[in-house]
Structure 1
Amino acid sequence: MSELIPIFIFFFAVIDPIGSVPVFIATTTGFDAKAKRHIAYKAIIAATGILLFFIVAGEYLLSAMGIPLSAFEIAGGIVLFLFALTMIFGEGKAKSELRMAKSVTETAIFPLAVPSIASPGAMLAAVMLTENARYTLEEQATTAGIMLSVLLITLILLMTAGPIHKIIGNGGANIVSRVMGLILASVATASILEGIKTYFAL
């Protein structure tokens, strides 16, 4: 049980369900309640498909290109760390993606499913946390289940986006995003160190 909590926190940080609420509200402005529910389901289904693809095929794609997973783990850790810094010191996920939503056609796929829910950090996490050489098939299935639970939480939050946004506001979403960014930065650093250790142990 204690091993599952860090994985849950990791996925919660990179998917950032709370930070997706303002993005959802922006992309669904003008739609009725039924259409908003349809958009929420469509966005979650799309994001789930993308992340499951990276769990199943991500490592095989790396192998086909001759990239060792340790190198990807280091590179992924660096990208996650930079991503975490933008969450901590930047505008925050909510504000930056709200601006993106205003500048493109408002759809469930972009920017809601990608990059808000299935973020680059979430894609990297899906690969790194299901490494075939390190985790058994059962452990990988458990990790996938944890990821799906975070996506389910995201769906629930999107379905109740109106009341939640009234409670926390854009400022509250930005605060949560920054806290998640700090957690993600720590995880990213651990990933870099583990990748370096694995590489030199080869």
Structure 2
Amino acid sequence: MSPELSLANALHQFATLFAVIDPVGTVPVFIAVTASVAHDRRRSVAFRAVLFAALVLMGFLIAGQPVLNAISVNLTSFQIAGGIVLFLFALTMIFGDSKPEKEISEVSRNVAEWAVYPLAIPSIASPGAMLAVVVLTDNNIHSIPAQAMTAGITLMVLGLSLLLMLAAMPVQRMIGKAGASIVSRVMGLILAAVAVDHVINAIIIRFGL
């Protein structure tokens, strides 16, 4: 068996993709985004978010490397931009006010928009995740079967993200709006720290510090 297709390499890729996609870290974002969405619409938000994230990551896996090379975009710059966007969203989780009743119906009508931003991008399909799938499927290094294995592992991690978001719904119902508000602010602080960490790591890589 090729070393690229070995169990050890598969586990290494799973650990890498689990870290950058961060299914656990997606849960507080999901809770914050769906706080004012009707319970029966939250499942739709979760499924749509994972679907959109899968499309983005598979797109980067297949065409990301040649496209970014063609337009001369540095991948670490992409990661820095994503970290800043994630940090700005974290601030809304920490300081944002509860939505008034008149906005609740509007949120419910725009489930697709909430699923795309900030859930699918940049929470699930983060710049770090996009960077990882491009690196793990480098056309100059890895064979087609190895790239297919990476695609399968990516979809597996996305499936775990979906399961965790669906599991968050009963927890949120149990703690109520007040509890969800507290969790949202605490998790927002953690998310802000994660975003800053992404930016710092990208700067270190970019400038070789």
Q: TM-score range by the shorter chain?
A: 0.5 to 0.7
Kindly indicate whether the alpha-carbon contact (under 8 Å) linking 1:20 and 1:116 is maintained by their aligned counterparts in 2.
Answer: yes
In 2, the alpha carbon distance for the partners of 1:162 and 1:15 equals 20
SS at match of 2:115: coil
Distance 1:98 1:173, change over 3 A: closer
Give yes or no for the alignment of 1:128 onto 2:127. Answer: no
2:36 is the alignment partner of 1:30: yes
Q: How does 1:1-202 map to 2 (within 5 A)?
A: 1-63=7-69, 65=70, 75-76=74-75, 95-96=90-91, 98=93, 107-162=114-169, 169=183
Change over 3 Å in CA distance of 1:101–1:151 after alignment to 2 = farther
Per-residue CA deviation, residues 46-104 of structure 1 (Å, 9 max, x unaligned), is 110011000111122145x275xxxx7xx435765x68xx79xxx9798447359879x
> Are the structure 2 counterparts of residues 96 and 148 from structure 1 closer, same or farther at C-alpha, using a change threshold of 3 Å?
farther
Q: Which has the larger radius of gyration?
A: 2
Identity %: 33
Read off the aligned partner of 1:129 and give its amino acid letter: L
* CA apart distance, 1:191: 10
Q: Which runs of 5+ in 2 are unaligned?
A: 1-6, 100-105, 108-113, 176-182
Query: Which of 27-36 and 146-155 deviates more?
Result: 27-36
Give the letter for the 2:93 counterpart.
L
Structure 2 CA distance for partners of 1:30 and 1:151, relative to 1, 3 Å: same
3-state secondary structure, aligned to 1:13: helix
TM-score, structure 1 normalization = 0.67
Deviation track 1:15-45 (CA, whole Å, cap 9, x = no partner) reads 1111111111111113233200001001110
Count the aligned residue pairs: 181
Paired with 1:190 and 1:138, the residues of 2 have a C-alpha distance of 29
CA RMSD of aligned residues (A): 4.1
The 1-side partners of 2:137 and 2:95 are apart by 31
Letter in 1 for 2:125: A
Q: CA 1:110 to 1:187, structure 2 compared with 1: closer, same or farther past 3 Å? A: closer
Mark the runs of 5 or more structure 1 residues left unpaired by the alignment. 194-202
CA separation of 1:157/1:128 partners in 2, compared to 1, >3 Å: closer, same or farther?
same
Q: Are the equivalent residues in 1 in contact too, given 2:14–2:154 (CA < 8 A)?
A: yes
